[in-house]
Structure 1
Amino acid sequence: MTKTTIPPQLAAALAARDYTDLTPVQTAVVAKEAADRDLLVSAQTGSGKTVAYGLALATTLLDGAERMGPPADPLALIVAPTRELALQVQREFQWLYAETGARIVACVGGMDARRERRLLEEGVHIVVGTPGRLRDHIERGALAPFEARAVVLDEADEMLDLGFRDDLEFILNATPENRRTLLFSATLPAGIVTLAKRYQHDALRIEAGGGERGHQDIAYRAIRVFPNEAEHAVVNLLRQLDPQTAIIFANTRNAVRHLHATLVERGFSAVFLSGELGQHERNLALQSLRDGRARICIATDVAARGIDLPNLALVIHAELPHDAEVMQHRSGRTGRAGNKGVSVLVVPTNRRRRAESLLAEAGIRAEWSGPPTAEEIRALDRERIFADPVLTVAADEEDSQIAELLMQRRSAEEIAVALARVLRSRLPEPEEVSDPGHGRATAPIKGREPRDMQVSGDMAWFRLDVGRSNRADPKWLLPMLCRRGGVTRQDIGAIRINDTTTEVQVAASVAEKFIINARKGNADDVHIAPIEERHEERPRRPAPRRDDERGDKPAGDRPFRKRGPPGPPRGKAERGGFKHRKNRERR
């Protein structure tokens, strides 16, 4: 490890975190030629840049001392585009500077500003914050950065894109001219170059990773799907890859909410992030991901900026991003700091050219395939069952006693079947999906059964009081029916969606249990009722009777009427003709 300009206190913190080798950007900022200079760094998300500028600031802030002096006005400001990134930076600096006695305070929008002012009044060494909140504290006199030795702009390109230019210039103008200015950005558009020329002096240009735009530790996959099976493909991807933590990106708040409801309905532990959430709700969602209570996060691009989730192994683009930069920013949530990750693009058949263009623009080669099938996932489940903690954790005395009792009262086969049933009940059921690239010309019609499908066994019909007008969709109806009725997907037959109602087939063998369970939720949920005689509910219009059934003259006895020329079209012409005859009668 390069330690040329790393103080021993920080070197010890790195060793405690098992940092055996620095990343390229970290190595570059601690090199001798970078010491005490302004830095203009282009580095991709996930390259270890937070620790990089933490190391780069160390010699400036400590100034040869072993520990920081008494806290007073801040020695450094770190500006980040989002609340999540600012809070993440604070957490990273707390362990990195733990042996220096540094006091680090975060000031971000959405948090209690009065509490932040009290913390600033007590003295601080490093302040991390978002542009708007830092400017507000400076204008109100709570934050005095007039003696700051360094300013860091993290993800500067994102801050310019979000419209923070005025706030950034205000903050930089409030700090001393002889400060160090460290500017970190994934890209260097014209706005960043202009900002650097104006506020930096003799800056050292560092391009981490040799300018490669792709992430070396991320494997890209592109999954071709029918447009109406995209959500099913997401479900199967989560079941196949079984990540410890995953993030799924959608383009709008509505899409995020819908996908979140879909996954929760299917039994996944998921949270969502979008701009409509308050800071407290966002913090709760992120904390549930960090402590393992939730494993999946569905988010928009803006809401996910700056998020660093532990053990994030999978990124799914449920909707294609708008451009290649956004795609890489999304994918950069995984494959961080030397860890491996997977980024999957779900590509509907009508968006394939767009996906190929994005990948080509980013210089990325993706592995194309169809979505994981239900059969493949069930085969994986049969192998994974042997690694389940239920089978691997050593039994205690009480477990052994219960096991002995079970062996006395049940056969080994009955016990094994019960165990398999319990283990399978923990897993969301995989979806039936098709590969557009193999043997199927058209997508299935949503909500209808193919004409050639035969339902085996006797089936009972039930009616739900939701239909197309309520956006009824088999994607959420099927899991709801299974949950409400206490049945499996194999027990559900055809689902026929009408304008205001939906008709569902359920296997007659479980129909009684289904309706007993379903009625428990009828008071405050979708109403489900049996259809005892389906044809009575949907009577057909009687066919017109033949002449000999009318009870009047037979056809042969009625006079023949010769058809005249076709009259005017029905509508205004006919009504006008009627009025004309009526007026003529009056005359």
Structure 2
Amino acid sequence: MISPLSEALAERGYDTLTPVQEAVIAPELAGSDLLVSAQTGSGKTVGFGLAIAPTLLGEAEKFGPPAVPLALVVAPTRELAFQVMRELSWLYAKTGAVVASCVGGMDIRQERRALDRGAHVVVGTPGRLRDHIERGSLDLGDVRAVVLDEADEMLDLGFREDLEFILGAAPEERRTLLFSATVSPMIARLAEQFQREAQRINTIGAAEQHADISYQALRVAAPDSEHAIFNLLRYHADESAIVFANTRAAVTHLTTRLGNRGLATVSLSGELSQAERSHALQAMRDGRARVCVATDVAARGIDLPKLSLVIHADLPTNTETLLHRSGRTGRAGRKGISALIVPPKMVKRAERLLKWAKIEADWGFAPSADEILRRDEERLMSDPSWETPLTEEEAAFAARLLAQRSPEVVAAAFLRLHQSRHAAPEDLLPPETKPAREERDFGPSRWFALSVGRDDRAEPRWLLPVLRRAADLERNAIGAIRIQQSETFVEIAESSAEQFLGAIDAEGALTEEISVRPLDGPPNFQRGRAPRPEGGKPRFEGKKPRSDRPARQFDEASKPERKAKPAAERPKHWEQKEEGDKPSKFAKAAPKKEAKRKAKWSPEAEAPDRPEFDAETARKPAPSGKGAKYAPRKPAAGKGGKPFKKGKPGASGDGKPFKGGAKPSRKPRTSGNDAPRRPKR
């Protein structure tokens, strides 16, 4: 390893390297293209910084004057690009390297001036890098190494064409390092197209993939999802956390709710400007905020220090998103918690998600109010201030305080002051689902038949109050109500049956519209029909019930033989070509085409009694009837049967002008002549 890089690692407290860092700097892989799969937060940035250093520096320990870039690092998001830039800046600080950024959303003119001054390493996002290449401000002619960080995320965001353009603009003899959490078929095709005999490195083990992250699936009642998030943040009061939501609207809503509860909260979403996002991340890093509410795209690849809690307010859509969300914690050997908020309707989906991701989660419940208060007391008793020696001023104040107040009062007041710094925890509802409704035992009862049914639009919602008013019954005295086609069966408790019978008059009428008939026992509800009273009209008239009918036998031998009708009995429009042919009723003879043609009039047709056609005196003659002689058509007559006289233009047949108004102009219409033309008569 180059000595300036070793010194930088020692100053940062790197005693040992992570597995991915040791794998990429192996001597046998020097100068080779790499396809690396590593867990999120495993130190990939420092790893590829160490891997490309010999390619960039060679035998030297320091870079020369900056000119065109020697290395290009492509990241999917602005936050990840800035994070990579910061990591490479301190790693290459003692080598004199100049690291520049080309990130979408920043001032492109400043980036162009920085590239003109020269840079050894350029870090950027795909869209902005392609923009600089097309404008001619970024020259990749001397690039020796290209690194694609989070390549799977870049493909998911639709940057495939930009990546192909960037890699096509770089020299073919370059070194290409491709880092991806998962190697999908698209990643494999990209590696095959732009890498040369890439060496495959996989540092993700099934047993150690989630070793530093503790997964928890918390069951909550449907209306308590937000309360559970707040209680979870209160339980981990002194730790920084990130809350993931699926939409921008949910991010805005949660940020407002948590801010109103007294939590220092910032948000990250796609609608924020780059300056607002940078300020939010800086507030998390310097401790001014301890909760960040973000969407998946906005929080992709960010590295927040001492982030120990990830809360999934909305369940992720797939296993990759779950792993990337959870990878914000448990980084570089630190422990972390990934908690999924699971309402009753999402339990099955959460189980499938964890199963597909091969994660063993601890199912439990969100912290209750009592657990949070006990945790507050534990934090108070374990505060380092108890071990700090008292100063003279503090000892004098303590003596005066104890002279005026008892120790119990002082301790209680101290506890209240400590708890007042935080909002009170929420009292959560039990998350268990409601038990299935059990059928109650109605007890002894009697059945009655009412004279209304579906034909009368009978419904329980209006039958129930009618029965209660007419017989003054209690609600629990009425059991089942079974509506049939023409009548309805009602179950009345045995203790209220006499009271119900007392409300019926001598003719069996309960109300003006409803009459009642007592039944000897429970009615028969087979086939959805009501049993008929004794002596009533039979249900089947002349037919046996379908269940009693013998099965119809379809035997070819039993079919009647079909014989052709005699010629005398056949319809006239039937045709029969030969004796024995089966006639068809659709074989109706059509009129001959020749007969149709002769039926039409034509001047060339032979007609000895037809006068010679004179085009000057008559129009084409038309027949006035069947067999009638053709005569010239008379000219059209005007008023009174007189023929039209030749008049002036625009006048009627008798030479008089039209009564409709002024005489219209015969001049051609121009832009200055807007008079409407007279419609044709």
Q: Does 2:300 match 1:323?
A: no
Distance 1:399 1:251 in 2: 51
Q: Does 2:460 match 1:441?
A: no
Which residue in the other structure is 2:14 paired with?
19
The Cα shift of 1:565 comes to: 7.2
The Cα shift of 1:398 comes to: 4.7
What's the CA shift string for 1:357-406, capped at 9, x where partnerless?
A: 01100111011112211011111112211234654555555544544554
Which residue in the other structure is 2:169 paired with?
174
1:342 maps to which of 322, 337, 345: 337
2:256 maps to which of 249, 256, 261: 261
Which residue in the other structure is 1:206 paired with?
201
The Cα shift of 1:198 comes to: 1.1
The Cα shift of 1:286 comes to: 0.3
Q: What is the letter of the counterpart of residue 116 of structure 1?
A: E
Q: 2:37 touches 2:204 (CA, 8 Å); kept in 1?
A: no
Q: 1:213 touches 1:363 (CA, 8 Å); kept in 2?
A: no
Distance 1:414 1:397 in 2: 23
Map 1:295-334; keep pairs closer than 5 Å: 295-334=290-329
Q: 2:102 touches 2:123 (CA, 8 Å); kept in 1?
A: yes
Distance 1:217 1:298 in 2: 22
Q: 2:267 touches 2:280 (CA, 8 Å); kept in 1?
A: yes
Q: 1:214 touches 1:364 (CA, 8 Å); kept in 2?
A: no
Q: What is the letter of the counterpart of residue 86 of structure 2?
A: R
Structure with bigger helix share is 1
Map 1:144-543; keep pairs closer than 5 Å: 144-210=139-205, 214-388=209-383, 391-396=386-391, 398-437=393-432, 441=434
The Cα shift of 1:216 comes to: 1.5
Q: What is the letter of the counterpart of residue 285 of structure 2?
A: R
Q: 1:213 touches 1:362 (CA, 8 Å); kept in 2?
A: no
In structure 2, the CA distance between the partners of 1:211 and 1:196, relative to structure 1 (3 Å rule), is: farther
Distance 1:121 1:396 in 2: 60
What's the CA shift string for 1:69-97, capped at 9, x where partnerless?
A: 11100000000000000000011111111
Which residue in the other structure is 2:25 paired with?
30
The Cα shift of 1:200 comes to: 0.7
In structure 2, the CA distance between the partners of 1:151 and 1:23, relative to structure 1 (3 Å rule), is: same
The Cα shift of 1:249 comes to: 0.7
Distance 2:426 2:205 in 1: 42
Gaps of 5+ in 2: 436-510, 515-681
RMSD: 2.1
Q: 1:229 touches 1:433 (CA, 8 Å); kept in 2?
A: yes
Distance 2:166 2:253 in 1: 40
Q: Does 2:47 match 1:52?
A: yes
Q: 2:104 touches 2:128 (CA, 8 Å); kept in 1?
A: yes
Q: What is the letter of the counterpart of residue 369 of structure 1?
A: G
Distance 2:43 2:309 in 1: 19
TM-score of the superposed pair, with normalisation by structure 2:
0.62
Q: What is the letter of the counterpart of residue 34 of structure 1?
A: L
Q: 1:24 touches 1:209 (CA, 8 Å); kept in 2?
A: no
Q: 1:243 touches 1:313 (CA, 8 Å); kept in 2?
A: no
The Cα shift of 1:8 comes to: 1.7
In structure 2, the CA distance between the partners of 1:405 and 1:107, relative to structure 1 (3 Å rule), is: farther
The Cα shift of 1:68 comes to: 0.6
In structure 2, the CA distance between the partners of 1:395 and 1:106, relative to structure 1 (3 Å rule), is: farther
Q: 2:308 touches 2:336 (CA, 8 Å); kept in 1?
A: yes
Q: What is the letter of the counterpart of residue 138 of structure 2?
A: L
- Aligned to 2:204, what secondary structure does the other structure show? helix
In structure 2, the CA distance between the partners of 1:133 and 1:392, relative to structure 1 (3 Å rule), is: farther
2:130 maps to which of 128, 135, 158: 135
The Cα shift of 1:61 comes to: 0.7
389-398 vs 131-140, which deviates more?
A: 389-398
Distance 2:382 2:10 in 1: 33
Q: 1:154 touches 1:183 (CA, 8 Å); kept in 2?
A: yes
The Cα shift of 1:417 comes to: 3.2
Distance 2:208 2:350 in 1: 17
Distance 1:270 1:89 in 2: 25
The Cα shift of 1:564 comes to: 7.8
Distance 1:121 1:45 in 2: 34
Distance 2:299 2:185 in 1: 25
Distance 2:206 2:216 in 1: 23
Which residue in the other structure is 1:503 paired with?
none
Which residue in the other structure is 2:91 paired with?
96
Distance 1:223 1:400 in 2: 47
TM-score of the superposed pair, with normalisation by structure 1:
0.72
Distance 2:206 2:46 in 1: 20
336-345 vs 211-220, which deviates more?
A: 211-220
Distance 1:205 1:325 in 2: 20
Distance 1:266 1:394 in 2: 35
Q: What is the letter of the counterpart of residue 178 of structure 2?
A: L
- Percent identity over the alignment? 58
What's the CA shift string for 1:515-539, capped at 9, x where partnerless?
A: xxxxxxxxxxxxxxxxxxxxxxxxx
Q: 1:243 touches 1:314 (CA, 8 Å); kept in 2?
A: no
1:75 maps to which of 59, 70, 74: 70
Which residue in the other structure is 2:118 paired with?
123
The Cα shift of 1:174 comes to: 1.3
Q: What is the letter of the counterpart of residue 179 of structure 1?
A: R
Larger RCO, structures 1/2 (Cα 8 Å, 6+ apart): 1
Which residue in the other structure is 1:505 paired with?
none
Q: 2:220 touches 2:430 (CA, 8 Å); kept in 1?
A: yes
What's the CA shift string for 1:238-270, capped at 9, x where partnerless?
A: 122335211111111111111111111111111
Distance 2:413 2:220 in 1: 36
- The alignment of Structure 1 onto Structure 2 pairs a total of residues equal to 441
In structure 2, the CA distance between the partners of 1:212 and 1:379, relative to structure 1 (3 Å rule), is: closer
Distance 1:402 1:387 in 2: 23
Q: What is the letter of the counterpart of residue 134 of structure 2?
A: E
Which residue in the other structure is 2:470 paired with?
none
Distance 1:290 1:93 in 2: 18
The Cα shift of 1:9 comes to: 1.5
